[in-house]
Every structure is written in structure tokens, then in C-alpha cells.
Structure 1
Amino acid sequence: MKPFQFKQLDLKPEGNWLSRALKSPHLRKTMLAAGLGALLGYAFFYFSAPADSSVLWSSEALSNILMGLGFGIFITNSPCARGRC
């Protein structure tokens, strides 16, 4: 009977949870979608404002930015986006 032979297992330190999370492709995709959503939300505010208005920032702009940010996060983290629907 031949004795068992085991290969050496090389373990590397993974770092802390923050560095692992920042290197995650899913987090990067979520951040990109959220940023794009926020940018589109501001663009919607800017181009839907009346032509005689010179307001570049208001509470409505913040509302549109947060709505776009939320849509960006939802699109990348919804169950259907992750193949679970």
C-alpha cells in the first residue's frame, strides 16, 4: 500500500475586509452605476429647468441626484441583476 502524499497548501494573507471590499468587482460595478445614475439625475434637473432660470443647484437638484443614485444601486443589486429571479 502506497502512503498518502499531500501537496503543500500556500496560504496568502487576504488583508482586512475594507481592502477586500474595495477590490471587489461587484462593488466597483455598483459604484460606477450609482455615479452614472447621479450624473444622469443632475442632467435631468439641468435640462428640464426653464430656459430663463440660472439656478445650478437647489433642493430639486439634490432630489434628482439621490433618485438617480438609488436607481443605479438598485439596478446593480436587484435580484434579477444578480440572476436570482
Structure 2
Amino acid sequence: MVLSVETKLKYHHWANLKLLQHIKGLKEDVSAKEVKSIFPSLSVIFKHIYSVDSMWLKRISGVKASILDAVNWILRKRLYKLLNSFTNNTNS
């Protein structure tokens, strides 16, 4: 069965809402708590999801990503790492 783009987008929206509802029910400090994973915390995971969603929305909409978009994405990832390491160092 092949799903339409609209159906896929509706599912994606539903899944993101479910994740956000779950996280909303967690204690406040959980989103910044370091975990053993590719992503060091829940907040970094959602920053990544937002970045990738933005990139794919541009592509689906026919907007060509410029080299600046690619560089911005790389720099944003490095910034998240830096901010997370700073947060972890100040909480120790």
C-alpha cells in the first residue's frame, strides 16, 4: 500500500503531537537531562527534529537548499553540542 504525501504529513503531525504530549507530562528537568544516546538530551532531539523537518519542508515545497542552508544546518548542530556541553558543565 502506497500512502499519499498528505497522509504521511498527517501521520507525521500526529506523531509529533504525541511526543510533545508525552514530554509535557514529564518533570521539567527531564528534557535537559543527559542520556546515553546519539543525542545527549530530549531537548536536543527536538531541536534536531525541527531542523530536519524545516529542511524537508523546503525540499517538498520545491525550495532548493542553498549552500548557506547547509552551512547553517551544520553550524546549528555544532551550536547545540556546545550549548549542551555548557549546560552539562554548569549543572555539575
Tell me the TM-score range normalised by the shorter chain: 0.3 to 0.5
Q: TM-score, normalising length from structure 1? A: 0.37
Higher relative contact order (CA 8 A, sep 6+): 1
| Richer in helix (by share) | 2
**TM-score, normalised on structure 2?**
0.35
Between structure 1 and structure 2, the one with the greater Rg is: 1
